[in-house]
Structure 1
Amino acid sequence: MGTAQLTAVPEPKYWHLRSVLLRAIDSEFSIGEVIPNERELAARFGVARATLRQALDQLELEGRLVRRRGIGTLVAAPRVGVPVSRREEGWPGGSREQAWHTVDCVSAPAAERLAQALGVPVGETVHTVRRLRVEQGQTVATESLHVPESVVAQVPEIRLSGAAAEADDHARSVLRRLERLTVDGESRAVELGVAEAEEATLLQRPPGTPVLVVTTQYASGGRLAALAVSTYRADTCRLTFGETGLVEVTPVAPVRTAS
């Protein structure tokens, strides 16, 4: 096997400044404390204001700083631990409702991509329930829960009355029908992404904000019953897995390299 030379890539000025600022923040400031303004920081570190703003923007995206209008830039609190284990999440429509709040529900024919993901024919009606997850009074995630009509077709629609019979009546009915099915199992996948315009608006963050995308497949009756795509703010969330709240790691045998 040939040997490739790695070419050193110059570190951008703002990225180097980000690292310098991070060390200063960790050693000199406490959580919630206001850091000096841009003019003072630019003078202290001998950089242009434009370079400083890039570094501050990066630290805000990473969740290390937070800007408050009329106050300034503060040192952010640690990320919120958000459990995504089956014990905490449960079957949609059940215990999950304690953390998830319904936005709306749309029923429409499935396009090719969604139909393929759900294993249903193109054009089959799919109910999509959109929800927000709130932790400690802060919106930390959005979710699109896709449920094929063929999955809940045998479950009678549930008509709600009183205060529940509002705009979210349809969403609640879909969730209640789904809840009455028996869950056979579920699987989750997590990947890094960025918030698109609609998600960013719901999360109250600018488009392009780093997010963690959790895709959950729920099985019932030997088939895929529902698909949930949950988008978490990477700047404020720390996802936890497993019954203990920790990620379970399986030791891997060391990889031998050819000599």
Structure 2
Amino acid sequence: MGAADIDCEDRVGTTQLEAVQEPKYWHLKTVLGDALDSEFEVGEILPNERDLAARFGVARATLRQALEQLELEGRLQRRRGVGTTVAPPRIGVSVGPSANVWPGAGRDAWSTVGCAEAVPPAPLAALLGVARDETVHTVRRERVMQGQPVATELLYVPAASVPDLSRMLTPATHAPAVLAELHRLELEGEDRSVELGSARAEDAKQLDRLPGAPVLVVTTRYYAAGRVAAASVATYRADTCRLTFGDSGGLEVLHNSAPERRAS
């Protein structure tokens, strides 16, 4: 065990688990959680399971239960080839009033990773009011925080919404051109729905999760000229995000549930 591991263990401290009536793993989770809040930096690697179990005088199975619970709560991340690290703060997924801003405009936190013409899933075709076999411009975007992917999005834009789009497009210019034409429209409003779901294989790969991992799925409709001009489906990692309500502009949701209002 290296000096860094010893230092990490000393900062975690010890506790008398034997006299606690609640399950040992649950109390251990609380002790570790307190240490994560006050003594560890985002991205810092925890000591290995063997050393932590020895330090707290618990079986490795008990320690794993505590670590798994902290991972489910979004406090820890287990990364292949790295180990167990302290997770970054959760991002807030707003379900409050709409921002009335086109995707890719203003201080958008997303980056574009590609675009293609494809037939949307049947539910999205119905939302857009297009035929089931009609192709639409499909822009894939992603959101990254602290170097980790936290969300992926598919933005569906019918050809009727961007009629002046040049046909002389390349893979590098397709997405920027679609977004630029979309921004020319006057956005009349938007609405969204949020539901808990399971990551599909493609989204799981983008999010560095296993297929079937819990995710938050946010579906948004954008209105212009009295109709739905575009629709997006954003898939957020449930372990890195939580829902926020009301005016959540500039709100960063911290692990210790003490939100801090930042200037817009």
What TM-score do the two structures reach when normalised by structure 2?
A: 0.70
Residue 195 in 1 paired to residue 204 in 2? no
2:234: which partner in 1? 230
1:212: which partner in 2? 216
Cα distance in 1 for partners of 2:64, 2:219 equals 34
Residue 113 in 1 paired to residue 123 in 2? yes
Q: Among 21, 36, 49, which residue is 1:38 paired with?
A: 49
Q: Among 117, 127, 140, which residue is 1:130 paired with?
A: 140
1:61: which partner in 2? 72
Q: CA deviation at 1:135?
A: 3.8
Q: CA deviation at 1:152?
A: 2.3
Cα distance in 1 for partners of 2:152, 2:82 equals 28
CA contact (8 A) 1:111 1:123 kept: no
Amino acid of the residue matched to residue 105 of structure 2?
Answer: G
Residue 92 in 1 paired to residue 103 in 2? yes
State the secondary structure of the residue aligned to 1:91. coil
Cα distance in 2 for partners of 1:45, 1:58 equals 19
1:157: which partner in 2? 165
Cα distance in 1 for partners of 2:76, 2:248 equals 29
CA contact (8 A) 2:196 2:215 kept: yes
Cα distance in 2 for partners of 1:68, 1:207 equals 16
CA contact (8 A) 1:158 1:176 kept: no
* CA separation of 1:67 and 1:225: change in aligned 2, threshold 3 A: same
Higher mean C-alpha deviation, range 237-246 or range 205-214: 237-246
Q: CA deviation at 1:126?
A: 1.4
* CA separation of 1:31 and 1:50: change in aligned 2, threshold 3 A: same
Q: 5 Å matches for 1:7-86?
A: 16=23, 18-29=25-36, 30-32=39-41, 34-43=45-54, 44=56, 46-47=58-59, 49-50=60-61, 52-67=63-78, 72-81=83-92, 86=98
CA contact (8 A) 1:212 1:232 kept: yes
Cα distance in 2 for partners of 1:108, 1:72 equals 39
Cα distance in 1 for partners of 2:172, 2:25 equals 44
Higher mean C-alpha deviation, range 31-40 or range 207-216: 31-40
Amino acid of the residue matched to residue 19 of structure 1?
Answer: W
Q: Among 170, 176, 183, which residue is 2:187 paired with?
A: 183
Amino acid of the residue matched to residue 120 of structure 1?
Answer: V
State the secondary structure of the residue aligned to 1:95. coil
Cα distance in 2 for partners of 1:186, 1:109 equals 23
Cα distance in 1 for partners of 2:152, 2:171 equals 18
CA contact (8 A) 2:155 2:233 kept: yes
Give percent identity, aligned residues only: 56
* CA separation of 1:180 and 1:42: change in aligned 2, threshold 3 A: same
Amino acid of the residue matched to residue 194 of structure 1?
Answer: S
CA contact (8 A) 1:93 1:175 kept: yes
Cα distance in 1 for partners of 2:119, 2:88 equals 43
CA contact (8 A) 1:210 1:233 kept: yes
